[in-house]
Chains A and B, each alone.
Chain A
Amino acid sequence: MNIASLLKRTATLALILALVAGCSSPKGKGTYSGTGADGALPGSDVLNPNGVNGEGLAPRPDGNFNPDTDVDYETLAAYTVYFDFDSTTIKASERGKLTKVQEWLAANPGKQLFLAGHADKRGTLEYNRGLGERRAQSVRSYLIGLDVSGSILQTISYGMERPAANGDTEAAFAQNRRVQIGVIKTK
């Protein structure tokens, strides 16, 4: 193939990628969103009254990490933390699970966790996304209190949109008010 058609194909491919991939805004002064190249969190506040040990969230993992495919929710499934309705408090009955999680991490250095927060369907969508997020942060905060480093604790909220159980029973609702303790797969 000649140079002209090669250039044309490259340009076309670039255009398609730009449309499909949702390219981020260019890195540079004041134009970034998300984490900067050095891992700094733009706009984060030094004073944080939100009870997360004064820390903002850890940057997202580098590279091609995708929460949909690269998290193992099976290994620590027994330690899924459950919550009361509209609550983000870690009940006394659930705390033992997080002690076990801390012990597992101590026995498995180099592992990172992905804490996925959820809500039952009885709230509205954005409210439930916030509730799931606060539950995930609550577990993260508790683990930090057990001396786990915040830098290995990633979080996400799915709100009410990835239920564990369907239906309108109390039992189903209770199964959905949870934080899953995922383990980030190492490649």
Chain B
Amino acid sequence: MNTSSAPRLAALGLLLLSVITATAQVDVTSKAKVRVSITPLAGAQGAAATQVLTKDLVRTLLIDPVPASGAGFVVSGTADANGVTGQLTSGGQVLVSKTYSGDWRRATHEFADDITLATTGVAGFATSRVAFISSQTGQKELYVMDIDGANIKQLTQDKTISNGPAWSHNGKMIAYTSYKSGYPDVYLIKLDAGTRTRIAFFPGINSGPSFSPDDSKIALTLSKDGNPEIYVMPVTGGSTDRLTRTRGAETSPSWSNTGDQIVYSSDDRGAPQLFVVPANGGEPSKLSTGSAFNTEPCWSPDGKKIAYTLRQGGFQIGVYDVNERSGKTVSTGSGEDPSWTRNSRHLVYASSGSLYILDSVTKLSMRLENGLKNCTEPAVGQ
């Protein structure tokens, strides 16, 4: 062959190569979504489960359900009172074939998460629960719900100000702040037992609890020594270890996934900035997010990123890359109080009284419908 056709052959080879890999996993860094056909599920709960499943996949912001066409990803299965049996195929290949036993809604969410992983390479989060605050009743109370807005439970009826829920990593406890006593105190709810215990009620403010990775400790803001600072204490209550010492206010601690470090917001230098301090004590260091006014940090489960609220006109969601040491805005519109889902890519945040799911890579977002008004302060259980 003459020399001019060699580059064209090489280009053709490259194109063929990219098409072959595309069928295994589509590029999900662009906003082009993966097309998945959902054959309506059979069985007594088939119709309902198909709806739940479709919404779960749409909520990933990565998948576009399309009519069945014989080619590409095809979902099928049955759903009844015993659970879901589900299949995902592509071409002739079976990618998922599984029985999910138990409550059909939960089983459907599990199936959706398997489909999401197989078609996009990104872990799904359809089985997650979200704790949040709503003033639906006229007062700020604590609620939990499935991330699709089902199974809403109002956990408090205190007719006071409730704030800032945090899930334990094992999903069994929620810590939060309440003015139930008249003062801002931190309470611990054990979900299985249905108990609530007041664990921090020092003079001043007690707020912003965050669980350590092993759930044995919480970091929180206390002002008992004259100024709002970050402290660590056992989840059962008791003596505290002080981590910060400034003339500013330190708030919103969040643990790293290893439990070695805690990120928080401090306005000691004027506008609030993010700082990281060793969890056992030491010198704090400032994070260069590139934006003024940084609050409400949340460390991702994989430890690689910190989401936070920044002020840029209104409030926006930022993501700081721990390795690259830089931050960027990932919300379009407005947003506050981010909480990561388990995949360290999607997060839930609040905006204008509603909760939203955001893909921090594509910046796509959609509202989480739950029928409650004035929803704030979301916390995603893993």
Residues of A that sit less than 8 Å from B by CB: 18-19, 22-25, 30-35, 41-45, 48-52, 55-60, 65-69, 86, 123-127, 129-131, 133-134, 137, 155-158, 161
Number of A-B contacts (CB under 8 A): 173
Chain B interface mostly helix, strand, loop or mixed? loop
Cβ of B341 under 8 Å from chain A: no
Cβ of B143 under 8 Å from chain A: no
**Which of A43, A65, A68 is within 8 Å of B239, CB to CB?**
A43
* A127→B226 contact, CB < 8 A: no
* Nearest chain B residue, comparing its CB with the CB of A54: B226
* A35→B204 contact, CB < 8 A: no
Which residues of the other chain, A, contact B223 by a CB distance below 8 angstroms?
Answer: 57, 130, 133, 137, 157
* B194→A129 contact, CB < 8 A: no
Known contacts A125-B377, A129-B205; A52 and B227 CB within 8 A of each other = yes
- In angstroms, Cα B238 to Cα A113, docked, is 28
1/0 contact string of B231-261 vs chain A (CB within 8 Å): 1010011111110011111111000000000
Rounded to whole Å, the gap between the CB of B376 and the closest CB of chain A is 7
Known contacts A43-B242, A124-B309; A31 and B267 CB within 8 A of each other = no
- In angstroms, Cα B184 to Cα A34, docked, is 12
Cβ of B207 under 8 Å from chain A: yes
Residues of B that sit less than 8 Å from A by CB: 140, 160-161, 163-164, 179-184, 187, 194-205, 207-208, 221, 223-228, 231, 233, 236-242, 245-252, 265, 267, 271-272, 295-296, 309, 315, 336-337, 376-377
Known contacts A31-B237, A127-B265; A44 and B183 CB within 8 A of each other = no
Which residues of the other chain, B, contact A129 by a CB distance below 8 angstroms?
Answer: 163, 184, 205, 207, 221, 228, 251
* A44→B224 contact, CB < 8 A: yes
**Which of A30, A55, A124 is within 8 Å of B295, CB to CB?**
A124
Which residues of the other chain, B, contact A59 by a CB distance below 8 angstroms?
Answer: 203
Which residues of the other chain, B, contact A60 by a CB distance below 8 angstroms?
Answer: 183, 201, 203
**Which of A33, A35, A49, A57 is within 8 Å of B199, CB to CB?**
A33
* A126→B295 contact, CB < 8 A: yes
- In angstroms, Cα B337 to Cα A20, docked, is 29
* A33→B198 contact, CB < 8 A: yes
- In angstroms, Cα B187 to Cα A181, docked, is 28
21 A-B Cβ contacts within 8 A?
Answer: A25-B197, A25-B199, A25-B238, A33-B201, A33-B233, A34-B202, A41-B202, A44-B225, A45-B225, A125-B164, A125-B296, A126-B163, A126-B208, A126-B251, A127-B272, A130-B223, A131-B249, A133-B228, A134-B248, A137-B227, A157-B184
* A33→B227 contact, CB < 8 A: no
* A127→B267 contact, CB < 8 A: yes
* Nearest chain A residue, comparing its CB with the CB of B271: A86
- In angstroms, Cα B233 to Cα A30, docked, is 11
Known contacts A25-B237, A124-B337, A125-B377; A157 and B295 CB within 8 A of each other = no
Which residues of the other chain, A, contact B140 by a CB distance below 8 angstroms?
Answer: 161
- In angstroms, Cα B184 to Cα A86, docked, is 21
* A127→B238 contact, CB < 8 A: no
Which residues of the other chain, A, contact B225 by a CB distance below 8 angstroms?
Answer: 41, 43-45, 48, 50, 56-57
Which residues of the other chain, A, contact B201 by a CB distance below 8 angstroms?
Answer: 24, 33-34, 60
Question: What 5 A-B pairs come out closest when comparing CB atoms?
Answer: A130-B249, A52-B226, A67-B182, A57-B203, A50-B227
- In angstroms, Cα B207 to Cα A161, docked, is 14
* B227→A32 contact, CB < 8 A: no
* B295→A123 contact, CB < 8 A: yes
Which residues of the other chain, B, contact A55 by a CB distance below 8 angstroms?
Answer: 226
- In angstroms, Cα B222 to Cα A130, docked, is 9
Rounded to whole Å, the gap between the CB of B100 and the closest CB of chain A is 34
Rounded to whole Å, the gap between the CB of A116 and the closest CB of chain B is 11
